[in-house]
Amino acid sequence: MRIVIQRVSHASVTINGTVKSSIGKGYLILLGVCEEDTEEDVDWLVHKVVGLRVFDDENGVMNRSVMEVGGEALVVSQFTLFASYKKGNRPSWLRAARHEVSVPLYELFCKKLSNEMGKACGTGEFGADMKVELLNDGPVTICMDTKNKE
């Protein structure tokens, strides 16, 4: 499981001209799922996301978590995080999980993250053509992969 997590001032997801979700200060999380991912990967990532200290404290040092600043989260499914680009110029998506695997794990991630944060997370719509808007704050962008925990 891979995520790209961006600290944002605000973010939104629009589908067919209608805003599905929007947040203020917090995280925009792009989430990719591969075939080998399990609930253990979800738990590890949720723990890392809520504990990540990338918001400024009173001294301007990145020392506060999203929980400590009352931030929000918007989670968007992103199978393209598992693009293979080694051969030729057209990416392959063979490592991305099938819908039967990825949809339940995406939904579980959103549910567990919402529970940990104590508030509902915004979501996209799995498989939809989404327009994602954000104002990256910092910019702060971090990539995490459950297959690279060390």
pLDDT given for residue 79 in this prediction: 92
Instruction: Tell the residue number behind the tokens 């790209």, with chain if given.
Output: 4
Q: CB–CB of 27/8 below 8 Å?
A: yes
Which residues fall within 8 angstroms of residue 73, CB to CB, at 6 or more apart? 23, 26, 27, 28, 29, 49, 66, 113, 114, 117, 121, 122
Q: Which token pair is 61?
A: 């040092």
- pLDDT of 54 > 90? The answer is yes
pLDDT given for residue 126 in this prediction: 85
Ranges of each domain in the chain? 2-145
DSSP string over 9-60: EEEEEEETTEEEEEESSEEEEEEE-BTT--HHHHHHHHHHHHH-EEEE-TTS
Active site residue 18: no
The confidence band for 85, taking pLDDT boundaries of 50, 70 and 90, is confident
- pLDDT of 95 > 90? The answer is no
The confidence band for 11, taking pLDDT boundaries of 50, 70 and 90, is very high
Active site residue 6: no
Active site residue 79: yes
pLDDT given for residue 84 in this prediction: 85
pLDDT given for residue 112 in this prediction: 98
78, 82, 109, 123: the active-site residue: 78
- pLDDT of 86 > 90? The answer is no
The correct answer on CATH 3.50.80.10 for the domain covering 2-145 is: yes
79, 82, 109, 146: the active-site residue: 79
73: three-class secondary structure by DSSP:
strand
